[in-house]
């Protein structure tokens, strides 16, 4: 089976993705979520526990929990930043993570992102190789 790994994202080895959304000076924001491969491994997602707006995340540190019917998994931050938006739709429709992991299944928006941290993440081709 092959999984989508969009080229415009960067990935953590633990299967979270980050998409830098705007790159104005001092106001870089990013969206984060989990990969197509990760949602498939988990199976039917039934619950996500996410931080509140205003909380700060550290790159590689745990920021939340995702549960499918069969498994509980920790979520790790691909980038440091401050939570500026939470996809609260997931609280009622966690299955969006399965249906559209890179779109409607996004989890958090971060601000105050340091773009230099992107260098520590995998590009799409390297991540695709990891999950192959």
Instruction: Please report whether residue 8 would count as binding another protein according to CB under 8 A.
Output: no
> Which x/- pattern, by CB under 8 A, does the window 17-56 give for another protein?
--------------------------xx-xx-x-------
- Sign for the CA dihedral angle at 118, 122, 125, 128 comes to negative
Task: By CB under 8 A, tell whether 72 contacts another protein.
Answer: yes
Position among 23, 27, 61, 65 found at the interface with another protein (CB under 8 A): 65
Q: Which residues of 67-94 are buried (b: 16+ CB within 10 A; e: fewer)?
A: bbeeeebebbbbbbbbbeebbeebeeeb
Alpha carbons 108 and 47: distance in angstroms, whole number = 15
99 makes contact with another protein (CB under 8 A):
no
Nearer to another protein, 13 or 47 (CB): 47
Piece of the chain touching another protein by CB under 8 A; list 18-26, 68-76, 78-86, 117-125: 68-76
B/e letters for 19-38, b = 16+ CB within 10 Å, e = fewer, are bbeeeeeeebbbbbbbbbbb
Using CB under 8 A, list all residues that contact another protein. Answer: 1, 43-44, 46-47, 49, 65, 67, 69-70, 72, 91
């Amino acid at each position: 089976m092959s999984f989508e790994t969009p080229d415009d994202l960067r990935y953590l080895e633990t299967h979270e993705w980050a998409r830098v959304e705007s790159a104005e000076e001092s106001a870089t924001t990013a969206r984060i979520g989990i990969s197509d491969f990760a949602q498939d491994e988990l199976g039917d997602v039934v619950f996500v526990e996410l931080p509140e707006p205003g909380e700060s995340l550290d790159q590689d540190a745990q920021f939340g929990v995702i549960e499918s019917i069969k498994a509980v998994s920790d979520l790790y931050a691909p980038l440091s930043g401050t939570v500026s938006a939470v996809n609260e739709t997931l609280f009622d429709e966690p299955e969006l993570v399965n249906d559209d992991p890179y779109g409607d299944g996004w989890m958090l928006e971060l601000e105050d992102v340091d773009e230099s941290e992107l260098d520590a993440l995998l590009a799409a081709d390297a991540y695709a190789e990891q999950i192959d």
